[in-house]
Structure 1
Amino acid sequence: MKGFMHYQLMNYIRSLKMIPPITIFCVWIIVLYIYKGVPILSSYAVTSITVYLIMTWLTMTVFSIEEESEKHILFVHLGNKKRYLWGKWATCFVFSFILIIIAIIYPIIMNNFSGTIHTLHIALAIYSHWTLALFGIFIGSLFSFSLNKYSWLSAVLVIVISLAYEGIVEKVSFVKWLLWLFPPVTQVLNYLNMGDSVQIGGEFWINFGVATVYSIIGFILIERMFSRRNG
């Protein structure tokens, strides 16, 4: 399994498909923090969304580097088709870890924030970036299995709806329960949009639980879809 993970990382890097998403991410981080004295948590909310978008894109490219024939050869070598999926996810997790480190550490090193950064700020930043990275990997994986030529457009649509959740519910309240099918992005970001003096309350832990359960169910669903398609 370790050998396959190393192969996936090297194969993906050699494909150069990582260059556009990684470049756009780095440029955006630099542009976002071009000025000093920016608020802490709202800035991290923006970079969390950026990680969400980039990880969806990156995941879809990770799943596209092999042709069908090469994929079936890898199935035989691995002995278990699920290991192929796990190796893909491991590659995505490595890149998500790198992006999250950059997003959180860069403004601290460059001293861009207006106030003193505390442990709570770091904890919320790690939580929001990591959770939205998982959502991005989930969406990217889901639409990578689609043979539809509009899979990229479908992924973008899901992202837009998940980001516009509160506005949609406010305008069309009867679709609220249907929107539970989409990643609970706004619930994850709620506490990052309350100012830097935010205090953690019971609502946070409810939202944390919802996001965790959604992620677990989502990845189980992807694994089963993958097994059925390649069974």
Structure 2
Amino acid sequence: MMPLIRYMIANYTRSYRYFAPVAFMLISVVFIYAYRPNPIMDSYAVTAALLFIGSAWLGMNFLNHDQGRQAVLLIVQSGSAGRYYIGQYLAIILIAMMFSLFAVGYPIAANMFDKPITMSELVIGYSAHAVLTMLGASLSMYFQSGWMENQGRAAGLLLLVMIVSLAGQSVGNQLPEAASLVRYLLPPVWLVMDMMVNAPVRGQAVQILAILYAWLYSLVLLAVYVWCALRRDAAVPAQKGG
């Protein structure tokens, strides 16, 4: 699996298609810390949300690059289509995780916070960044050109999903009380952000549960994507044979 992932990343970085999403993530983080001092968890909530957007953009960009005849060859070399799809996802995650490390480590190294960071804040902060990059990557898989030919429409729909994911708390508040739990069906970006902004009153157990929920949500999205992609691949030869 690792040789496949290394090849995918090397091939993608040679294309220079990565520049726009990577620049967005780097510049956004630096811009957030343009002034000091900054509250720790509130700042991390903002940069985690920005990395969610950046990783979704990066994922869509990465997947659209890795299409056509080369994809067929890589599926053959990897041994199965399932391994290939999971390899794509892991390649996106590995790239995005580097920016999670940057977003968490930069303000510490540059002394941008209003107080020394504790170990629990560091762990929760990095976990939140990591899980939201996973979530962004998982969502992006459904909007690649292999699934939606009109990429202008795909980008618009992905943007809409990201906005709703960020505004889940507000969406839930607008619904009748009986339907307020519907917000938990939305991508839980809002849940992780709420947990971070209100960290002092939420408690460590709630923080861990929010991160675990977002992690499981990402894995479910990945599992559904792989299942649908494999069924779709199996249907193509059947249609040609018919």
**1:54 equivalenced with 2:58 (yes/no):** no
Q: Is residue 191 from structure 1 mapped to residue 195 from structure 2 by the alignment?
A: yes
Deviation (angstroms), 1:141:
1.0
Deviation at 1:178, TM superposition (A): 4.2
Offset of 1:205 from its aligned partner?
4.2
The offset of 1:148, in angstroms, is 4.2
Task: Give yes or no for contact 2:196–2:207 (8 Å, CA) kept in 1.
Answer: no
| TM-score after normalising by structure 2 | 0.88
Aligned to 1:224: 227
| C-alpha distance in 2 between matches for 1:194 and 1:82 | 39
Identity %: 23
| Alpha-carbon separation, structure 2, partners of 1:142 and 1:59 | 10
One-letter identity of the residue aligned with 1:151: A
- Counterpart of 1:184, as a letter, is P
What count of residue pairs does the alignment treat as equivalent?
230
Following TM superposition, where does structure 1 have runs of at least 4 consecutive aligned residues deviating by more than 4 angstroms?
none
Aligned counterparts, 1:14-163, within 5 A = 14-144=14-144, 145-149=146-150, 150-163=153-166
Question: TM-score, length-normalised on structure 1?
Answer: 0.91
Q: Tell me whether 205-214 or 15-24 shows the greater mean CA deviation.
A: 205-214
Q: CA RMSD for the aligned pairs?
A: 1.9
Match of 1:182 in 2: 186
3-state SS of the aligned residue for 1:117? coil
Q: Structure 1 residue 100: deviation in Å?
A: 0.5
Per-residue CA deviation, residues 152-202 of structure 1 (Å, 9 max, x unaligned), is 11111111111111111212336544444321112112231126x556254
The DSSP-based 3-state class of the residue aligned with 1:63 is helix
Task: Pick closer, same or farther for the CA change 1:93–1:165 going to 2, 3 Å.
Answer: same
Give the letter for the 1:125 counterpart.
G
Q: Which amino acid aligns with 1:133?
A: T
Deviation, 1:4, is 1.6
- Letter matched to residue 70 of structure 2: E
Any stretches of 5+ residues in structure 1 without a counterpart? none
Question: Structure 2 CA distance, aligned partners of 1:220 and 1:24?
Answer: 28
Q: Distance in 2 between matches of 1:209 and 1:10?
A: 31
Could you tell me how far apart the structure 2 residues matched to 1:84 and 1:69 are?
14
SS in 1 for 2:36: coil
Paired with 1:130 and 1:86, the residues of 2 have a C-alpha distance of 17
